[in-house]
Structure 1
């Protein structure tokens, strides 16, 4: 019987460097806070060029698991870190813009994540969390606040409650999903026919969400945040569908 052979994938050198570093992380040999040897030492030990090593380190820096510091001395070089929030948000924004995920997918992900985070926040939010949310709500209620600043405060409000849920992964995912649609939400806010009325309606729901979390009504907060997301985010889906049908 003849054997059917398959082509062997030829990995680029920097991918092999990434694989080696990942294996050391998985094995527990590299942990957050650990510093990698200088490039001039690490490259020959790994048997690769410094350019291939730099390419691998840039990838790790982009995905938020490494920070590189220039210069000499004990603080120079690359250090393993835990910083997934910004990196994940950036990657998700790019994939959403490229059409990897539909707007409907993002809507359902937001609903699932934020129902969970608001329900948990009702039992876990600290006095400091509630005070920060109150401050954000006050700033969003300022009639002089521009649309872009409102969108920024709105994002921070939702991410705050994800953070106060006590689940760091939920917080990171909520932040990434919300950030992925920030430009789209901003355009929708800017095109609102009656911006003051739109802002007032959103803030009324924000205020009620804060009240429900403060009194410990997690189920009520979960139901309201779903209506809140579907109400405005749903208009984005409808608008996209109208453009696609045109």
Structure 2
């Protein structure tokens, strides 16, 4: 029987470096807080050029598992970190903008995540979490607050409540999904006919969500969270003409 040859996948040099670093992480030999050797030492170990090594390190920095501090001294160099929140949000926002996910997909993901996080926060949130959320709510009710600042505070409120759920992954995913539609929500806030009325309505829901969580009414908080998200975020889906069957349409 003749031998059947299969094509061999060609990897670029920096991809091989990435694979090697990932293997060290998976094996537990590299942990959060560990520093990588200087480039001049690490490149010969991998047998690659310093430019290929830098490309691999830039990829790791982009996805939020590495921070590079230029210069000399004890704090310089590349260090392994656990900080996926911002990086995941940026990646998801780009994929959303490119049409990888449709607005309806994001809506349903938000509903599922935040129903879970508000219900869990009612059971697990500590007073410090709720006090910080209340501080944000108080800032949001200021007369004359502009939509851009309101939008930032709105994001902080939802992420803070997700943090109170006690589930770090839920918190990270909530932050990333909310971040992915932040520019779109801002445009919608800026376009409303009666901004003070919209502000008052949303603030009323935020205050009630916080009250329900404080009093341990998880199921009621989950129901209101869904209504809150579908009320405003859902209107974006309606305006875009995206239905369940168009979930992957670009927006």
Q: TM-score range by the shorter chain?
A: over 0.9
Conservation of the 8 A alpha-carbon contact between 2:65 and 2:82: yes
Conservation of the 8 A alpha-carbon contact between 2:103 and 2:237: yes
**In structure 1, distance between residues paired with 2:49 and 2:5:** 32
**In structure 1, distance between residues paired with 2:6 and 2:218:** 54
| TM norm structure 1 | 0.96
Residue 180 of structure 2 is aligned to residue 156 of structure 1: no
* Distance apart, 1:159 and its partner CA: 0.3
Q: Which stretch has the larger CA shift, 2-11 or 89-98?
A: 2-11
Residue 28 of structure 2 is aligned to residue 33 of structure 1: no
* 1:78 match: 78
Residue 69 of structure 2 is aligned to residue 69 of structure 1: yes
Residue 196 of structure 2 is aligned to residue 199 of structure 1: no
**Residue 67 of structure 1 aligns to a residue in which SS?**
strand
Q: Which stretch has the larger CA shift, 109-118 or 119-128?
A: 119-128
* Distance apart, 1:137 and its partner CA: 1.1
The higher-RCO structure (CA 8 Å, 6+ apart) is 2
* Distance apart, 1:136 and its partner CA: 1.1
**In structure 1, distance between residues paired with 2:188 and 2:122:** 30
Residue 226 of structure 2 is aligned to residue 231 of structure 1: no
* 2:168 match: 168
**In structure 2, distance between residues paired with 1:74 and 1:200:** 51
Q: Name structure 2 gaps, 5 residues minimum.
A: 243-248
**In structure 2, distance between residues paired with 1:4 and 1:114:** 51
* 2:109 match: 109
User: Runs in 1 of length 4+ with deviation above 2 angstroms?
Assistant: 1-6
1:123-160 deviation digits (Å, cap 9, x = unpaired): 11222222212111111111211000000010000000
Q: Name structure 1 gaps, 5 residues minimum.
A: none
1:7-31 deviation digits (Å, cap 9, x = unpaired): 2111000000000000000000100
* Distance apart, 1:237 and its partner CA: 0.3
Conservation of the 8 A alpha-carbon contact between 2:130 and 2:164: no
CA RMSD in angstroms, aligned pairs only: 1.2
